[in-house]
Amino acid sequence: MSPVATAPAHLRVRDAQLRAAYLREVLDLLYPPPCFTDGAPGDDTDGRVVGAPVADYLVVPDLRRPRLLVPARSRRIAAAAVRRYAEPQGRLARLKRDAVVTALRSGASGLLLRDRVRVYGPAAETIDGYLRRVLGAEVALSIHIGPARANRKPVLQLIARDGRTVGFGKLGTGPLTRRLVRAETSALNALAHAVVDDVTIPRVLHSGEWRGNQVLVQSALPVWQPRAPLAAERLGAAMRAVALCCGTSKGWLSTSPYWTELRERLSTVTDRPDGAALANAARDLAARAGDTDLRYGAWHGDWAPWNMASLANSLLVWDWERFTLGVPLGFDALHYELQRRIQTDPDAAAAVERMVTRAPLLLAPFEVPRAAAELTALLYLIDLAARYLADRQAEAGARLGVLGTWLLPVLVRRVEAFR
């Protein structure tokens, strides 16, 4: 999913409202009764004598637009939490982040961060207590409050006393997110034994369950190290390395395991808005190109600019919960291009159109013949659309959850014109 920073003003307001509501939900999840909080919307301490808080957070930037909770008790830890929690997209975002980091380090954070949330109750009942037990180490947490989407989940940054980020935790809290956290755990375990040149992948530090929630703690990638320019050739080679890391196969689209699996996924969403139109487009495409030979391999599944960092000696890539085997080679390159364009272009349909047009160039590192490039791009769009519908992104309030406003019209038109 792409960030909402470039969305129209009314969508940014809606995003802020949904984040504020989600803040309450996350606090209730991570600090369940008998714990209680003071400072967040909806809090009511009922005059209880609370004593010392077991957790104390500053809200970045504020309670109306929460994006991050950082530990308030240590300047060093708070500054590290902001510095390392996400990958800023653009110069302005980096400047804003750096201003907050400087304020935290200097002790002047009260001028920028006026809102705090405190948690009271038995420490053993909290997520903090659970992670300290399973990791055998004292860690402070910062909590990421993400945008509305069906696969949104609590993401925790684990910080040592000296300010080092030692890992990141994810909690799967519902059927979809529990499945995704389990899938990422399996992917990271499998990739630990694969050779993927020029790509650094997190390691699993812990996996388990806490209060019915699926938990994954993975090692922190060194995103704080100096960045290096990322050439298109290097990016394509890294994506190719992932595509080939678990072997490849070749065969007609219509007889491939990929097509069988995709049809099954489409059959489960035909009752959703846009689902029938998507299934019809897929069927029409297969009728036109089912005898096309394609190569199949792996893909990361959500390789986007905000899920990676370019260093001189490696590309750091995270968020592997959508890692899948047996897809047409090149899906990662198409996904990256689409997400990059959506991030900066308010016309998402135009971004889809441009991605399909550029497919032959994008797929060249994967040795996809020009004659199969558009077919691969259209299959990627069908695959992505099936994911959106299965995850119920529209119902979750995701910015681009309604496919009929951007992806589906381009797909249907392209399939009808496909030869």
Kindly report the CATH number assigned to the domain that includes residue 178: 3.30.200.20
In a domain, 273, yes or no: yes
Whether residue 254 sits in one domain with residue 108? no
DSSP helix, strand, coil percent of the chain (3-state; round to 5): 45, 20, 35
Higher pLDDT, 419 or 64: 64
In a domain, 163, yes or no: yes
Higher pLDDT, 70 or 17: 70
CB under 8 Å to 209, separation ≥6 — which residues?
Answer: 215
- Residue 46, domain extent: 9-219
In a domain, 227, yes or no: no
**Confidence tier at 255 by pLDDT (50, 70, 90):** very high
Residue 310 sits in a domain whose CATH number is: 3.90.1200.10
Final residue of a structural domain among 163, 195, 219: 219
| Closest among 143, 129, 141 to 59, alpha carbons compared | 143
Whether the predicted pLDDT of 24 surpasses 80 = yes
Provide mean pLDDT across the span 44-64.
82
Final residue of a structural domain among 219, 254, 276: 219
Whether the predicted pLDDT of 4 surpasses 90 = no
Provide mean pLDDT across the span 19-24.
87
Q: Tokens standing for 160?
A: 């040592």
Whole-number pLDDT of residue 7: 59
Whether the predicted pLDDT of 1 surpasses 50 = no
Q: How far is 346 from 217, CA to CA, in rounded Å?
A: 35
Provide mean pLDDT across the span 202-221.
97
Whether residue 338 sits in one domain with residue 281? yes
In a domain, 100, yes or no: yes
Whole-number pLDDT of residue 47: 66
Whether residue 202 sits in one domain with residue 242? no
Whether residue 215 sits in one domain with residue 76? yes
Higher pLDDT, 378 or 163: 378
Whether the predicted pLDDT of 105 surpasses 90 = no
In 170-231, alpha helices (H): 175-191
Provide mean pLDDT across the span 304-312.
95
Whether residue 315 sits in one domain with residue 215? no
C-alpha torsion sign, points 258, 263, 379, 149: negative
C-alpha torsion sign, points 171, 299, 273, 17: positive
Whether residue 72 sits in one domain with residue 45? yes
In a domain, 52, yes or no: yes
Q: How far is 277 from 229, CA to CA, in rounded Å?
A: 41
Provide mean pLDDT across the span 348-373.
97
Whether residue 290 sits in one domain with residue 150? no
pLDDT tens digits, 117-163? 999 999 888 999 999 999 999 999 999 998 878 888 999 999 998 88
Backbone angles phi, psi at 24, to 5 degrees: -60, -40
Whether the predicted pLDDT of 278 surpasses 50 = yes
Q: Which of 60-64, 214-218, 247-251, 262-266 has the lowest mean pLDDT?
A: 60-64
Provide mean pLDDT across the span 352-365.
98
Whole-number pLDDT of residue 49: 62
SS3 66: coil
Predicted model pTM: 0.90
413-416 — which CB contacts under 8 Å span 24+ positions?
414/356, 414/374, 414/378, 415/281, 415/284, 415/285, 415/288, 415/378, 416/284
Whether residue 20 sits in one domain with residue 96? yes
Provide mean pLDDT across the span 356-368.
98
In a domain, 225, yes or no: no
Higher pLDDT, 297 or 22: 297
% pLDDT > 90, the chain: 72
The 10 Å Cβ neighbour count of residue 225 is 13
Whole-number pLDDT of residue 106: 77
Question: Using alpha carbons only, what angle is made at residue 318 by residues 142 and 64, rounded to the nearest 5 degrees?
Answer: 35
Q: Tokens standing for 385?
A: 């659309």
In a domain, 1, yes or no: no
Final residue of a structural domain among 219, 243, 277: 219
Whether residue 238 sits in one domain with residue 215? no
* Alpha-carbon distances of 98 from 85, 114, 387, rounded to whole Å: 12, 17, 35
Query: What's the whole-number average pLDDT of the chain?
Result: 91
> In the chain, how long is the greatest CA-to-CA distance?
73
Higher pLDDT, 16 or 218: 218
Provide mean pLDDT across the span 86-113.
74
Whether residue 277 sits in one domain with residue 204? no
How many folded domains does the chain comprise? 2
Higher pLDDT, 223 or 264: 264
Whole-number pLDDT of residue 80: 85
Whether residue 121 sits in one domain with residue 21? yes
Whether residue 257 sits in one domain with residue 205? no
Whether the predicted pLDDT of 387 surpasses 90 = yes
In a domain, 3, yes or no: no
**Confidence tier at 111 by pLDDT (50, 70, 90):** low
Q: Tokens standing for 63?
A: 């309670």
